[in-house]
């Protein structure tokens, strides 16, 4: 029997990749289902994976078009358990899975600090799905709190910032059909003219701005660049933030805004606010960004902790998929 791990690329996939080897009571072998992108091919190298049709924001047509493929994946891999951190691509897998009596665990993204997303609300209507929030503030009888992916990191002692910002990674995310030109323009105003900048621009059109943008970089390449840079400046996406925290960097997070047509809603303010509250990021609006914010982030230390004990199932607690490492697997 197989555990199917389902997640959209970006922050959803990054979260599930960090969490899947700590699933309590959910054993392998594991099989993945996601979109075909440089991130997924790099992050899941050597792992069994089936790629499905891309599903964008508010994209019911492609959700439905993935139904036959989801049915085939469940059947061919003898799946008995499905785990997902979202988003809409998970819908056909969970609907078909519950119809077949499979065990389903849905862990809402750490991007949602004030309540479930639209997709999560739809999945919550399916009978028998186990539901988990990464924030105790909105846990209730339906949504159970078992810790958060950010719990593995803590603010550390300050580090000496560089005398000047010389090497920068800018990541605007790869969310399809949404750009973030405001941030690029602001950075071009404040960055030193001789700064060495790596631009991961996604769907942001920078052809008229005199810079060279990379649509998407492989996971390892982006992580290595962040590690070597003085600072990361990024949209407030969970995946990009985790990439920085994993290498001990405090990112500058700039939320995309619905009012500017930069995302489907304003949930990135929740991510930036939560990580700022934990002392793990510098949060700032695009129009207010200064070189001082970059220097502040460069001087902020981040440390990785042992896995948080709240992920461990203890006696008398309700069953949870989040727990100790699976026997025989690395934590």
pLDDT of residue 57: 77
Structure tokens at 27: 């054993």
**Which of 191, 175, 159, 220 is CA-nearest to residue 290?**
191
Tell me if 105 sits within 8 A of 28, measured CB to CB: no
Do the strands 79-86 and 301-304 form a parallel or antiparallel pair, or are they unpaired?
unpaired
Q: How far apart are CA 131 and CA 107, in angstroms?
A: 6
10-residue averages of pLDDT along the chain (331 residues): 95 93 82 96 97 91 97 97 95 98 95 93 96 94 90 92 95 89 98 96 95 93 96 96 97 96 91 96 98 97 73 36 41 32
pLDDT of residue 173: 85
pLDDT of residue 21: 81
Cβ count within 10 A of residue 157: 7
In this prediction the pTM is: 0.87
Structure tokens at 29: 């072998």
pLDDT of residue 307: 60
Q: Indicate the SS3 state at residue 210.
A: coil
């Amino acid at each position: 029997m197989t555990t199917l791990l389902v997640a959209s690329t970006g922050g959803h996939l990054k979260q599930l990749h960090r969490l899947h080897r700590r699933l309590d009571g959910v054993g392998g072998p594991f099989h993945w289902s996601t979109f075909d992108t440089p991130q997924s091919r790099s992050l899941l190298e050597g792992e069994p994976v089936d790629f499905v049709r891309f599903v964008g924001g508010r994209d019911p047509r492609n959700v439905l078009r993935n139904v036959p493929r989801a049915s085939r994946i469940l059947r061919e891999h003898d799946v008995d358990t499905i785990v997902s951190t979202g988003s809409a691509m998970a819908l056909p897998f969970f609907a078909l899975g519950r119809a077949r009596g499979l065990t389903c665990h849905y862990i809402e993204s750490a991007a949602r600090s004030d309540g479930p997303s639209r997709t999560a609300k739809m999945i919550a209507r399916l009978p028998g799905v186990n539901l988990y929030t990464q924030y105790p503030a909105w846990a209730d009888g339906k949504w159970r709190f078992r810790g958060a992916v950010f719990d593995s990191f803590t603010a550390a002692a300050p580090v000496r910032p560089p005398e000047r910002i010389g090497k920068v990674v800018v990541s605007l995310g790869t969310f399809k059909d949404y750009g973030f030109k405001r941030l690029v323009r602001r950075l071009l105003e404040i960055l030193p003219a001789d700064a060495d900048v790596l631009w991961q621009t996604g769907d942001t059109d920078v052809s008229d701005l005199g810079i060279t943008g990379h649509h998407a970089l492989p996971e390892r390449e982006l992580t290595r660049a962040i590690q070597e840079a003085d600072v990361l400046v990024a949209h407030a996406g969970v995946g990009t933030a985790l990439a920085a925290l994993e290498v001990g960097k405090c990112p500058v997070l700039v939320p995309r805004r619905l009012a500017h047509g930069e995302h489907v809603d304003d949930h990135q303010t929740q991510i930036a606010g939560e990580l700022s509250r934990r002392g793990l990021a510098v949060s700032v609006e695009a129009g207010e960004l200064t070189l001082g914010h970059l220097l502040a982030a460069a001087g902020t230390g981040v440390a990785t902790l042992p896995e948080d004990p709240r992920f461990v199932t203890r006696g008398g607690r309700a069953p949870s998929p989040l727990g100790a490492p699976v026997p025989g697997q690395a934590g």
